[in-house]
Amino acid sequence: MDRDELSKVASMEAMREAWTDDRLDDLANRMDQGFDRVDRDVRELRAETRVGFERVDREIADVRAEMKAGFDRVDGEFHQVRSEMKAGFDRVEARSEVRFDAIHHALHGLQRTMLQIGGGLIGTLLVVTASVLASHL
């Protein structure tokens, strides 16, 4: 061993001999105080953590309430838009029915007119044919 190492070993041996009951008691007291401080710090940290989580829980509840109110408002607006659309479609359907009724009546009138004209032409054709036949006889 070199000189520095020997000095360190001698210093350590002197320290070992210097450990008295008073020094051990002092060390024990300092350790107890340190553990007490650590225990206090842990309790404070737990309390701060609990308060923080309670605040976060309240904020989450507030956000949920705001979201629910927003979704309820959107649902109401969708129902309103849906009602407006249904009313519009009902108006279009009612107008369509009126138009289809008018078209139906017009077609019915056209059909009646065509039957009358066709019947008149057939009647005229029969009269002409009968006249032609009667004049050749």
pLDDT tens digits, 45-83? 999 999 999 999 999 999 999 999 999 999 999 899 999
Summarize pLDDT for 91-113 with one digit per residue, the tens: 887 777 767 777 888 888 889 99
CA–CA dist 61, 9 (Å, integer): 65
pLDDT per residue over 10-20, tens digit each?
A: 666 656 556 67
Do 44 and 36 touch, CB atoms closer than 8 A? no
Nearest CA among 124, 106, 126 for reference residue 116: 124
The dihedral sign for the CA sequence 121, 124, 126, 129: negative
Look up residue 100 and give its amino acid: F
116 CB neighbour count, 10 Å cutoff: 10
Domain ranges, ordered by start, for the chain: 3-100
Full-model pTM: 0.42
